[in-house]
Amino acid sequence: MKFENKDLKVSFEIDDVITVPIQLMYWGAIDEAAGMAKFLRRWNAARMIINEWKCKSFKDHQAAYDEETDPTVTAVIMWVSQQVYEYIEGLTKVPNE
């Protein structure tokens, strides 16, 4: 699955098929970081399953970001975190008949 935000100049992919172990790893990472802010929990979990990362303002999604000051990086992290969260959460939705 490919995600892209042209305004933020970021694109990435996650596997089209998300196996149960990967789903559990994702949700477990969010759960283990319960004391952290929502976007930090979601970002740290998302980084584990992101492939094919391309971003002008944040070249390496695995890099430390503690010293970053660019608000664009904040916007990228928030957008990516939300996209992955909604995608993974959507896997558990049962379609209406």
For residue 31, give the amino acid letter. Answer: D
Residue 9 lies in a domain: no
pLDDT, one tens digit per residue, over 9-59 is 999 999 989 999 999 999 999 988 777 889 999 999 999 999 999 999 999
Domain count, the chain: 1
Confidence check: pLDDT of 97 > 60: no
In a domain, 3, yes or no: no
The three-class DSSP label of residue 8 is: coil
pLDDT at 93: 67
Res 3 pLDDT > 70 = yes
Closest CA to 46 of 20, 90, 13: 13
Domain that holds residue 37: 19-90
